[in-house]
Amino acid sequence: MGGAFVAPGLINMHTHFSLSLPGPVGEELEAMDAAGIALYMADGARRTLLNGVTTVRCVAEKANADFALRRAIEGGWVQGPRIYTAGRALACTGGHGHGSDDTMECDGADAFARGVRTQIRAGADLIKLMISGGIAGEHETISTPQLSTAEMASAISTAHAWGRKVTAHAGPAGVIAEAVRLGLDCVEHGYELTPDVCREMAEAGTSLVPTLIVTRSGAFFDELGVPAWMQERSLGAGERHIASYRMALEAGVEVLLGSDMPPFWPFEGTSAAVRELEHMHAFGLDAPATLRAGTLGPARWLGIDANTGSIAEGKWADLIALAEDPLESPSALRTLDFVMRGGVVVRDDGRVRR
């Protein structure tokens, strides 16, 4: 490898290949038929892999296209990362994400149990719940609680009975604490955590995918034509978001890489996935722990650490090569010039001579 630094392929735990935010670009995506969505997602999967992300966890996709895309990648028909998916996220009527096909509306404990079983029937590897409001919902706030205790308990217990972990879009501390006590396995975003809730998460083994880039992505929103109300809510939550992340680190909560933005998206001189890792490092995680948060930590959460997440004999050869050392800084990932997935070279910027 000519003196390169070799690392495991990155694992992005908060991916939407069919992401559509408010604004003209999102409206265009929402207007696509199933075939158009599938082709759009296939292109995103290819670009994601070429940017060094060899495994993704999809946490709400449209038209069941994530299942078709997973089969196509596994069958070698299209190029992309390994996909673990939640299928459609489950929300209450009018809840976060309700206006898109990537979310299924449910009301009441029985409906949420049915929703979980529906996604598992389709092939879901995990379940995603929308338990609070968020940045992209016009008629809600980040701190709006959206699921009852009975609804959360039903969804989580049903998923666990079927051997599936549960993650939740969640902002406010109170609703997160309640879900953690009910057995929630992972929190997405965690915009408004408290030290007490972080301690509960650490004690319960509940992971956090902080998606720090979400509250510092004005240029991305401008590119998509995202309206002012959403930009103001997002950027305005930035300082509180960082404070919550630091509380989680202090409490010993395991944090994992998740970009929310498409992992491959060109952003501030690199990809969204790498920029997220840089934020995680800049706001308190040391460089080796940052690399683990993008590799072995996610592999353990997904239950695939026997096969990937680190470099060892017998594991899948999901590898990336860099000109600089990622144990010194995650910014070394900006020098990525080689990607291998399952022993097959999918990107080689001239390092290896055939």
The residue segments making up the domain with residue 297 are 11-308
In 3D, which of 75, 81, 137 has the Cα closest to residue 262? 81
Residue 25 lies in a domain: yes
Give percent of the chain above pLDDT 90. 82
Determine which of 4-8, 158-162, 229-233 has the lowest per-residue pLDDT on average.
229-233
* Average confidence (pLDDT) over 263-285: 96
Binned at pLDDT 50, 70 and 90, residue 47 comes out as very high
Q: Is residue 6 part of a domain?
A: no
Question: pLDDT (tens digit, 9 = 90+) per residue, 315-326?
Answer: 999 999 999 999
- Residues 18 and 304: their CA atoms lie apart, in Å, by 25
Q: Is residue 127 in some structural domain?
A: yes
Q: What is the mean pLDDT of the chain?
A: 94
Tabulate helix, strand, coil % of the chain (nearest 5). Answer: 40, 20, 40
Please give the structure tokens belonging to residue 123. 């092939």
Q: Is residue 314 part of a domain?
A: no
Is the residue at 354 inside a domain? Answer: no
- Indicate whether 319 belongs to any domain: no
The one-letter code for the residue type at 114 is: R
Question: Does 340 fall in a domain?
Answer: no
Domain count along the chain: 1
Confidence bin at 351 (pLDDT 50/70/90): low
Which CATH number do you get for residue 215? 3.20.20.140
pLDDT of residue 353: 52
* Residue at 172: amino acid letter: P
Residue pair 6/319 in contact by the 8 Å Cβ criterion: yes
Who wins on pLDDT, 196 or 140?
196
Residue 107 has pLDDT above 50, yes or no: yes
Q: State the Cα–Cα distance between residues 268 and 301, nearest whole angstrom.
A: 29
pTM of the shown model: 0.95
Tokens representing 337 are: 């010039």
Under DSSP, is residue 185 helix (H, G, I), strand (E, B) or coil? coil
pLDDT in tens, 28-42: 888 999 999 999 999
pLDDT above 70 covers a percentage of the chain that reads: 99
pLDDT digits (tens, 9 = 90+) for 57-75: 999 999 899 999 999 999 9
pLDDT at 159: 98
**191-247 pLDDT, tens per residue?**
999 999 999 999 999 999 999 999 998 888 888 888 888 888 888 889 999 999 999
From residue 104, alpha-carbon distances to 97, 101, 107, 206, 261 in Å are 9, 7, 10, 24, 21
With respect to residue 351, please indicate whether it lies within any of the assigned structural domains: no
